[in-house]
Amino acid sequence: MRPINLPEPPSGFSSMPKFFDGAVRRAVVIGNGFAGAENQCMGLVRALGLSDRHSLYRVTRPHGGINRWLHWLPVSVHKMLDSVIRRLCGNSRFQASKIGISSVLEADAYHIATMARETFHKDGPLLVVASGRDTIPVASSIKRLAPENVFVVQIQHPRVRLNRFDLVITPRHDYFPLTLEGRRQIPWFLRKWVTPWEPPGSNVFLTVGALHLADSNTLRTAASSWHEELAALPKPLLVVNVGGPTGNCCYGVDLAKQLVVMLQNVLWSCGTIRISFSRRTPAKIANILVKEFATNPKVHIWDGEGPNPHMGHLAWADAFVITADSVSMLSEACSTGKPVYVIGAELCTWKFADFQNSLRKQGVTQPFTGKENMNESWSYPPLNDTAEAASQVIAALAQRGWSIHT
């Protein structure tokens, strides 16, 4: 069949509307350089159909020298102090490594707000999606500088003054301090300092877990990309994701040794076990698992070289074992509807224990005991936080007479 040649548009024709129609055609993502925060933004943008129409900016902190101990400061104060120290001591002592972020523009609230105002009637409202503590001042400033031209979504709880944002998307367990158990755990003299102080308002949308990129389209693509390596593996395929200890989920080599014993106990019922470590996994924990299973023909351990199999694992796994420290890894696995076993949940404290309890109560996860038969599967309604959050953004935009351009 011969191709059909369409006539060229008349001179001066533009695909953009000649009048403002209230359609959001582009997004700005404000990240902090951490995958856990930025993937939540990217997941929401993708769910809204704007994955190929967004720009990424980052709020970056100074690195090197004394800066490693100054991350508790507000980012603006940290940058100002770093500038003073450099002038006093000389820049050569504080050369920073910015590998991986040099090609990303620094988030400048004034610049982004100006761009939103100047392009409003041509390109429509600007959707701003931010996540992480350091992004809060930038996102809220954009809203203050261009309130009629932007719609600002802050992912993760900003602690105070939530009215600075059009929409806040945060896990339900961030409101644990307001529960009876949460208040019981807070000493009375600290209660006025622990946020949030009030229940979620009308501009707050609560999720079960974290937003992420593992939607159905992504998993279908991953299943195809990893078909050659994973499809022919003996079943059932058990994927083990190991994170690392955190302040509210503290563990060490004892948990790694416990995991080794449990995996040995279920190995008979597995066709294949594939183990992956995160960037936070301490070497002493990884080494225990590598030493025990490196020569086992049923077990494959990803060494961090080559393409990351994480999405392929989500697509092809029959079941998961995940350490309790990672809300992101658990949220992704629980969106598949496949069995998710958790190890170390009893070590979680504060709101992260509440998160683990909520997953168990919903039947989304089960504790990993080492007595499981991996041939016996179970299921549950998958978590759908990212798609539900996107629907909430669309509904909130509609209240302002705006919509997502499709």
Backbone angles phi, psi at 336, to 5 degrees: -90, -20
Average pLDDT over residues 376-395: 97
Interior angle at CA 17, CA 13 and CA 20, nearest 5 = 150
- In angstroms, the CA 211 to CA 384 distance is 9
Average pLDDT over residues 34-62: 94
Average pLDDT over residues 277-291: 97
Backbone angles phi, psi at 258, to 5 degrees: -65, -40
pLDDT reported for residue 65: 63
Which sign does the torsion angle of CA 400, 53, 329, 316 carry?
positive
Is residue 13 over pLDDT 50? no
> Which is more confident, 233 or 74?
233
Tell me the angle at which helices 253-266 and 283-293 cross, rounded to the nearest 10 degrees: 30
Q: Which residues of 122-134 are buried (b: 16+ CB within 10 A; e: fewer)?
A: ebbbbbbbbbbbb
Mean pLDDT of the chain: 90
Is residue 297 over pLDDT 90? yes
Whether the CB-CB separation of 263 and 372 falls below 8 Å is answered with no
Tell me the angle at which helices 109-118 and 136-145 cross, rounded to the nearest 10 degrees: 30
Instruction: State pTM to two decimals.
Output: 0.89
Average pLDDT over residues 299-315: 96
Whether the CB-CB separation of 201 and 396 falls below 8 Å is answered with no
Q: Which pLDDT band, with edges at 50, 70 and 90, does 248 fall under?
A: very high
Q: Which pLDDT band, with edges at 50, 70 and 90, does 61 fall under?
A: confident
Average pLDDT over residues 145-160: 97
Q: Which pLDDT band, with edges at 50, 70 and 90, does 16 fall under?
A: very low
Average pLDDT over residues 282-305: 96
pLDDT reported for residue 406: 82
Rg, the chain, Cα only: 24
395: tokens are 């509904």
pLDDT reported for residue 377: 95
pLDDT in tens, 178-212: 999 999 999 999 999 999 999 999 999 999 999 99
Average pLDDT over residues 305-309: 94
Whether the CB-CB separation of 275 and 293 falls below 8 Å is answered with yes
Is residue 262 over pLDDT 70? yes
- In angstroms, the CA 177 to CA 159 distance is 12
- In angstroms, the CA 397 to CA 318 distance is 39
Average pLDDT over residues 12-30: 72
Residue 94: DSSP 8-state: G
The percentage of the chain sitting over the pLDDT mark of 90, rounded to a whole number, equals: 83
Average pLDDT over residues 103-112: 90
Is residue 90 over pLDDT 90? no
Is residue 266 over pLDDT 80? yes
> Which is more confident, 164 or 105?
164
3-state secondary structure of 208: coil
Is residue 74 over pLDDT 50? yes
Backbone angles phi, psi at 246, to 5 degrees: -130, 175
Helix (H) or strand (E) holding 114: helix 109-118
pLDDT in tens, 327-357: 999 999 999 999 999 999 999 999 999 999 9
